[in-house]
Amino acid sequence: MPLLRDDNYTTDYIYSLPEGKRVELIDGQIYDMAPPARLHQKILMELSANIRDYIKQKGGSCEVYPAPFAVFLNQNNKTYVEPDISVICDKSKLDDRGCNGAPDWIIEIVSPGSTRMDYSIKLFKYRTSGVREYWIVNPMKKTIQTYSFEGDEDSNQFFFDENVKVGIYEDFEINLADLLKE
């Protein structure tokens, strides 16, 4: 699990860190981030490219940002996260620092130390901040947990070799096993 420090921090602290030091800030609490593994990065690249290609092919206006990318979920300086993948459809939320407000779709890729963060703390934070769809990709279990926070909230679990429907799009499905084939 990422290291939790028991102080009350703001985004000013984030910007005072040395170059390359990655942490997240949730409700004033700092969580250190470990470097991602190779499989984590492969999943990140394949999913990001697949989503970007779909949006381009459809002439969509949403933008895809892989980590590290700053997301300021709230209208205060107490929460700063770097989701593995952020899809933002409202370009007025974007500025030179990152995304101000909730992305439409967030994907987190679980690392051995991030399980509690991704399945609990971030799940609650993303749901309450206005994220429309949240996926948790777990390479250890080869599962994808999807959450739709629109209308009748819904949650489903899929395996990598299953087609997973993207909730914010009508005709987009992802089969992660197909994307990861060598």
Contact criterion met (CB below 8 Å) for 71 and 18:
no
pTM listed for this prediction: 0.93
Q: What is the pLDDT of residues 56-100, one digit of tens each?
A: 999 999 999 999 999 999 878 999 999 999 999 999 999 999 999
In whole angstroms, how far apart are CA 39 and each of 35, 74, 147, 157? Answer: 12, 31, 23, 20
37-68+82-180 to CATH, choices 3.40.190.10, 3.40.50.970, 3.90.1570.10, 3.40.30.10: 3.90.1570.10
* Confidence category of residue 3, pLDDT binned at 50, 70, 90: low
Q: What is the mean pLDDT of residues 131-155?
A: 95
Cα-Cα end-to-end distance for the chain: 30
Q: What percent of the chain has pLDDT over 90?
A: 82
Q: According to the model, what pLDDT value does residue 68 have?
A: 93
pLDDT at 6 over 80: no
pLDDT at 48 over 70: yes
